[in-house]
Amino acid sequence: GLTNLKKVREVYLHKNQIYLDIPPQIGDMENLEDLRLHENEMFDDIPDSLYSIRKLKYLWLQDTVYCEEVQEGGYECSIDSDFGFTGTISTKIGNLDKLQQLLINNNPISGIIPTEIGLCENLALLHIHKTNIVGSAPIELCLLREKSLNSENDVGVFYADCRPNNKTQAPFFACDCCSDCCDHTTKVCIADD
């Protein structure tokens, strides 16, 4: 299969009507720098082996779709944040020290952002909005705003569910360093910078 291709550097399989999870053998693709699987019907936890791909720079798992069979035949698919990748972001995220873009929005990923994300010093684009991630942005992540994860030079963007939830409740995710905040209930995002 695909994971036997050890020298592959880029995998672009977005919008390919893929229905599966990421195989645990993904970690065998040691030269992989760019993995884009967004807008497919994918699910299950992100395998721990993915966090061992030391050269990985771009990880796009956002906008997972949910498909239903329709009466006329065929399928109707739409992006739905209640379906897709589950589990949490592993503390092993810190192994990806070359990571520049992490897009996992529109997935039911939960838990908190581990402090080890601060080891990803090249991180310039982070989308965790429209997920079930709770808590607050760790200081280690906020310190990345002084590096590549800043929007002063139109370089870095950090989206999270940090707007007051439905204008009546506390934000779903507390963040003092997000560049753009979304309302977890209404799914509306507004730039704060």
141 DSSP 8-state letter: H
Does the pLDDT of residue 168 top 80, yes or no? no
Distance from C-alpha of 114 to C-alpha of 109, rounded to nearest angstrom: 13
Structural contact between residues 138 and 173, judged by C-beta atoms closer than 8 angstroms: no
State yes or no: pLDDT of 37 exceeds 80: yes
Distance of alpha carbon 4 from alpha carbon 160, whole angstroms: 35
Could you report the per-residue pLDDT of 73-119, keeping only the tens digit for each?
888 889 989 999 999 999 999 999 999 999 999 999 999 999 999 99
Q: Return the pLDDT at 193.
A: 42
Burial class (CB in 10 A: 0-12, 13-18, 19+), 29: buried
Half-sphere exposure of 150 (CA within 13 A, CB side): 8
Helix (H) or strand (E) run with residue 140 in it: helix 139-142
Evaluate if residue 151 carries a pLDDT over 70: no
pTM of the model: 0.91
Question: Which sign, positive or negative, has the C-alpha torsion 149, 62, 174, 137?
Answer: negative
Q: Of 10, 90, 104, 15, nearest to 50 (Cα)?
A: 90
Tokens 């239903």 locate to 68
Most confident of 5-9, 38-42, 88-92, 184-188: 88-92
**Considering the chain, what is the average pLDDT of its residues?**
89
- Cβ contact 189:172 at 8 Å: no
Q: Which two tokens stand for residue 163?
A: 């707007």
